[in-house]
Amino acid sequence: MHTPWWRNRRLLPLLVQATVGLVVLVTIAYLLGNLVRNLSAAGLLLSWRWLNLPAGFDISESLLPFNAELPYWRALLAGLVNTVRVVLIALVGATLLGTAVGTAAFSSNGLLRRLSRTYVELIRNVPLLLQLLFWYFVVFLSLPDGSAAIQLPWVVLAKSGLHLGSPQLVNGVWQGSLRITLEFAALLTGLIIHSGAFIAEVVRGGVAAVPPGQWEAARSLGLHAGQTLSRIVLPQALRVIVPALNSQYISLAKNSSLAVACGYSDLYSVAETTLNQTGRSVEVVLILLGTYLAMDLVISGLMNRLNRLVQIQER
Amino acid sequence: MNRARALTNRLRRELFATPLDGLITVVLLIGLVSGLKALLHWSLTQADWAVIQANSTLLAVGRYPLNQQWRLWLLTALLSGAAGISWGLLRGAGWPRSDRLAAAVLLVLGLVLPAGLGLAAPLQQRWWWLTALLLVGRWAAGRWGCELPPRWRRLLPLTWPVLYLSGLGLIGGGLGLMTVRPSQWGGLLLTLTEASFAIVVCCPLGIALALGRCSELPLLRWCSTLYIEFIRGAPLITLLFLGQNILGFLLPGGLAPDRVWRAAWILTFFAAAYVAEAVRAGLAALPRGQWEAARSLGLNMVQTLQHVVLPQALRAALPAIVGQFITLLQDTTLLSLIGLLDLLGVARAVMANPEFLGRNAEVYLVLAILFWCCCAALGVGSRSLERHLNRQVLRSQP
């Protein structure tokens, strides 16, 4: 019997793939052709030499020494270091907060349980950008200055920044301690509180996935609540939590690019300034995409190693 | 008497079971009460809500021409009518408790909110009409809907795409209506237009990508995987940045859409990758036997997908997909960072006005409440749809 060609089990997949491949290739070629034509018409053909030109703008805070005469690549590097700094601290903070809130959902105290739910529902349904703007413009920028500053043990909250340690008031200026800028503090607070809510959901889901018999068995062995949680429940919950935590960490790293909203000079904000000055849009976007992709891969790689550690070791 | 005792017992068990629990309760209560008191005190005495009243039109529609705003009112009326009729047809003549609750909330919102915001009298009346239209639609459709022939009722899902397209036409103009360029759309109007466009278009794209990623054909699998991972690896803001700065170079001169539509397409392509992952999880949850059973019944690929695989996979993926829609709605705020006047963009422009300097807290609070309500409503809707679908499945099984 002769099968028509559109029923041919061997020919059809090849045909479909060839068509799809052709369409994708032609589209890419068309777009790239346009890109090259338009860029050469604008005199902006791909080149990396501008990276060595002096940047001509300053960065408000930077761990690496930086001034306006240093080249663009130093500016972008300083931005990257700033991004990594805020992401690392926010990761730790959000994990602690999320774990606390997530486990509070299983507290014997009804008020604590409800507060934990309220926090999660409140934060998850409000855009992060709005929260960041709120922290920066409403909370941190309205801090009083000078002697009116809020003095807590180990930290003074003033308009000039957050002064850690034991700062002294000299001529109306707080001095002699580690200073955290308001921009950094606002970004950090916003990121920690936002990601904390998502991590709390992950932790809650992970703990809920542990069978209730485990709780009961631990209790009948005479372990108290804290021991039950840390020795019995959390190690088992981690097997569910760690893979989900991976994607939360990656989205935290990507969310740090909203730093531009509260005036913190992270990689994205430096890149935006660079683009506005040089007009090198393609190169700048390539740098941005590549860097964030690399950051995601690093986080994923580390989390996968952690995941192997917490999974059941089978013999 | 008994009830009072039961209540105290329950309170004691919930809040004061152990001394530590009691301490936690007292500390939390003190914190909560003082926080709420401060918030109430601030909102009643210190806050100046004039910034919202004076800019309510700006926040709602941006710089949409004043004499064309009747089109938006007409669209809102059509939408609330259609929503009421759909609601009624879905629920029938009865008014279960959840429906009564929703109707009461709508009534209170329709009556109190415009007055509370201090809108002008004609605007208030329009809100009343809209609420009335919605509720009357619900009542009438519930009452007489089941008497309609089923052939007509099946048209109901079709009205929404038609309404959507005609809504875009009403907003944008054309066909004799004055054109209002997208650069004049703003505020809540722009936010909702962009979000709804992205939601509508990203679904088919996402499903296609998910099918591609699960396909047996390597080329399809590689292309879809590459696309999904590329999009998921980049922050949305860099992609929007790419859209604004490079899209113009990728297309021949004049073909590139304007800034508003560029952002809408970028949002769509961005959301499609995430929807694809949600759908893929739904596909993965489907037992292999379903595919094999469909094949052994002699269904071809398209029939298998249409009648067997996709209905089940999409039902499993529904919560995750709606979660993506909620994220998408929130992500529209990023448009303000690339200079578009969405709700947040307009709000920031308002706060930059010297007349309203230092009124940040009021504006952010109102925006937060708006977003919270929209997102929470989406979440509640998704959960009730999920329950509805699960009931249907239970009913259809012998």
- Interface size between A and B, measured as CB pairs under 8 A: 144
A98 & A35 share domain: no
Q: Which of A30, A111, A275 to mutate to test the interface with B (most CBs of B within 10 A)?
A: A111
Quick check: B219 contacting A, CB < 8 Å? yes
What phi and psi values does residue B174 have, to the nearest 5 degrees?
A: 105, 170
Using CA coordinates, name the residue in chain B closest to A142: B358
Tokens found for residue A30: 């068309």
What 3-state DSSP class applies to A3? coil
Q: CATH no. for residue A224? A: 1.10.3720.10
B272 & B362 share domain: yes
Asked if residue A93 belongs to a domain, the reply is: yes
B236 & B304 share domain: yes
Q: What is the DSSP letter of A315?
A: -
Asked if residue B30 belongs to a domain, the reply is: yes
Asked if residue A259 belongs to a domain, the reply is: yes
**For residue A260, what are the domain limits?**
72-125+183-310
Q: What is the DSSP letter of B332?
A: G
Quick check: A123 contacting B, CB < 8 Å? no
B140 & B188 share domain: no
Strands A173-175 and A178-180: unpaired
| Mean pLDDT (10-residue bins), chain B, 398 residues | 82 79 86 91 82 82 82 86 81 76 82 74 82 86 76 77 84 77 85 91 93 88 91 91 85 78 92 93 88 88 87 88 92 91 90 84 89 89 81 68
CA distance B151 to chain A (A): 35
A106 & A215 share domain: yes
A39 & A85 share domain: no
Question: What ipTM does the predicted assembly reach?
Answer: 0.87
Kindly determine whether residue B371 and residue A127, on different chains, have CB atoms separated by under 8 Å. yes
B266 & B309 share domain: yes
A115 & A190 share domain: yes
What string of DSSP letters covers B87-149?
HHHHH-S---HHHHHHHHHHHHHHHHHHHHTT--HHHHHHHHHHHHHHHHHHHHHHHHGGGS-
B111 & B184 share domain: no
Tokens found for residue B386: 């999920």
Our measurement of the distance from residue B69's CA atom to the centroid of its chain's CA atoms, rounded to an integer in Å, reads: 23
A110 & A10 share domain: no
A235 & A289 share domain: yes
pLDDT at residue B1, rounded to an integer:
63
Distance CA A255, CA A250 (A): 9
Sequence-separated (6 or more) residues with CB below 8 Å from residue B279? B206, B207, B210, B211, B313, B314, B317, B321
A111 contact residues in B (CB cutoff 8 A): 14-15, 24-25, 28-29
Quick check: B23 contacting A, CB < 8 Å? no
Quick check: B28 contacting A, CB < 8 Å? yes
What string of DSSP letters covers B174-187?
BTTBPP--GGG--H
B278 & B248 share domain: yes
A76 & A41 share domain: no
pLDDT at residue A292, rounded to an integer:
93
Quick check: A254 contacting B, CB < 8 Å? yes
Strand partners, A174: A169
pLDDT at residue A185, rounded to an integer:
92
B198 & B155 share domain: no
Asked if residue A190 belongs to a domain, the reply is: yes
What is each CA distance from A68 to A94, B120, B262, B391, in whole angstroms? 34, 53, 34, 65
- The domain boundary, picked from B112, B133, B165, lies at B165
B219 & B323 share domain: yes
pLDDT tens digit string along A2-55?
A: 677 766 777 888 888 889 899 999 999 998 888 888 888 877 777 888 888 887
Quick check: A279 contacting B, CB < 8 Å? no
What is each CA distance from A176 to A143, A156, A162, A168, in whole angstroms? 20, 12, 12, 6
B158 & B201 share domain: no
Asked if residue B55 belongs to a domain, the reply is: no
* Residue among B330, B361, B372 whose CB faces A138 most closely: B361
Asked if residue B57 belongs to a domain, the reply is: no
A94 & A40 share domain: no
CA distance A191 to chain B (A): 15
Kindly determine whether residue B235 and residue A292, on different chains, have CB atoms separated by under 8 Å. yes
Asked if residue B211 belongs to a domain, the reply is: yes
One-letter amino acid at B366 equals V
Using CA coordinates, name the residue in chain A closest to B249: A35
pLDDT at residue A165, rounded to an integer:
77
CA angle in degrees (0–180, nearest 5) for A166-A168-A170: 165
Instruction: Considering only CA atoms, give the Rg of chain B.
Output: 25
A24 & A76 share domain: no
Which candidate, B139, B141, B51, B19, places its Cα nearest to that of B347? B51
pLDDT at residue A239, rounded to an integer:
87
In total, how many domains does chain B have?
A: 3
Asked if residue A162 belongs to a domain, the reply is: no
Which candidate, B152, B163, B102, B96, places its Cα nearest to that of B131? B102
Q: What is the DSSP letter of A154?
A: T
A35 & A90 share domain: no
**For residue B354, what are the domain limits?**
180-398
B194 & B160 share domain: no
pLDDT at residue A25, rounded to an integer:
92
B246 contact residues in A (CB cutoff 8 A): 35, 281-282, 285
A96 & A197 share domain: yes
List chain A residues with pLDDT less than 70.
Answer: 1-2, 6-7, 176, 313-315
pLDDT at residue A134, rounded to an integer:
92
pTM of the model: 0.88
A17 contact residues in B (CB cutoff 8 A): 217-220
CA distance B139 to chain A (A): 31
pLDDT at residue B238, rounded to an integer:
92
One-letter amino acid at B279 equals V
- The domain boundary, picked from B103, B137, B165, lies at B165
User: If contacts are CB pairs under 8 Å, which of residues 20-39 in chain A contact chain B?
Assistant: 20-21, 24, 31, 34-35, 38-39
In total, how many domains does chain A have?
A: 2
B202 & B304 share domain: yes
pLDDT at residue A313, rounded to an integer:
66
Q: What is the DSSP letter of A66?
A: -
> Residue A186 region, left (φ>0) first, then alpha (ψ -120 to 50), else beta?
alpha
Kindly determine whether residue A17 and residue B18, on different chains, have CB atoms separated by under 8 Å. no
